[in-house]
Amino acid sequence: MAIYITKNGQQLGPYSMAEVQNLLRSGTLDITELAWQEGLPDWVPLHQIPGFVFVPPAPPAPPVATTTPEETHRLPAQNKSLLQKIGTGIVASGVILFKLAGPILVLLKTGGTMLLSIGAYSLIWGWKFAAGLVVLIFVHEMGHFISARCYRIPVTAPTFIPFVGAYVLLKNRPMDPWTNAIISYAGPLAGGLGGWVCYYLAGYYDEEWIMAVALYTFILNLFNLLPVPPLDGSHTCICFFKSRTPGMSPSDRVYLGFFVAALVAGLVLGCMYTWGNLPPPSSLTPH
């Protein structure tokens, strides 16, 4: 059964029991590290994982000869023929193309769904507002993406769904509550900062559609902080319940509460500022 380890604030794994044994023998892990596997209600020290028994490394074996007298006097290998060289080159080229295919497919998936969303929103609000809104949604999702990468958690590139939003998928579950809360918090934080950038750009260039993008961005990110699944706020709010996160220290709860309150205040203030600077709806009709 897969085992997850948390070490120095980072989540590692999943590991098999044999992999954990190897990491212990090499000194990479200690038996006191916090660990989790399916079926456990919370993180426990590694040595308390059911069925876990640390097997110390075996003494090193004496060196043995790696060559025989026949191999010593063996003639050197003959040079490859032209056909063998061509075949090797074709295989190597195929490997390179296969490695490049992954990033290209990811780019097509993210870029293609972004263009699809822009086209759908343009039918209602015009292409300028649609493009700005999709870019700000992308900024929100990149907040999740970058924070997950900082915790070394595999994560997919953003995928957009018209009139729904976008999402990224974390490939490594479960996470400890603190990691989950920070990754969830990072999306509205990035989106809110993007909204403030739009607000100042709208004032500098005197563009009404940019101000409208800023307003909708503040509203969407504020809505995302509601403690309702599957919104980001539902992953953050559990850290304030001791029964759900008994391993969190009171100071961590205070820090998280302060930053969540600051983000909510910044988004509410952004809504107030942009709403006051928007013209009547008739002047925002797309052309």
Say whether both 156 and 31 belong to one domain: no
- Residue 57 scores a pLDDT above 80: no
Residue 102 pLDDT: 47
In a domain, residue 96? The reply is no
In a domain, residue 99? The reply is no
Spatial separation of the C-alpha atoms in residues 155 and 157, rounded to whole Å = 7
Residue with tokens 């193309």: 97
Spatial separation of the C-alpha atoms in residues 128 and 137, rounded to whole Å = 14
Give residue-wise pLDDT tens across range 257-281: 999 999 999 999 999 999 887 765 5
Which carries the bigger pLDDT value, residue 226 or residue 107? 226
pTM score above 0.75: no
Instruction: Tally the domains of the chain.
Output: 2
DSSP-assigned letters across all residues of 11-63: EEEEE-HHHHHHHHHHTSS-TTSEEEETT-SS-EEGGGSTT----PPPPPPPP
Give residue-wise pLDDT tens across range 2-30: 778 777 767 777 788 788 778 877 777 77
- Please identify, among 50, 74, 98, the residue that sits at the C-terminal boundary of a domain: 74
Spatial separation of the C-alpha atoms in residues 159 and 168, rounded to whole Å = 7
Least confident of 51-55, 91-95, 96-100, 224-228: 96-100
- 122 sits in which H/E element: helix 82-125
Distances, alpha carbon 81 to alpha carbons 41, 55, 74, 85, 162, in Å: 62, 50, 20, 6, 56
- Residue 283 scores a pLDDT above 50: no
Backbone dihedral angles phi then psi of residue 106, each to the nearest 5 degrees? -65, -45
Share of the chain above pLDDT 90, in %: 38
User: Token pair of 158, please?
Assistant: 């953003």
pLDDT, mean over the chain: 81
Residue 158 pLDDT: 92
- Residue 85 scores a pLDDT above 70: no
Say whether both 216 and 122 belong to one domain: yes
Say whether both 118 and 69 belong to one domain: no
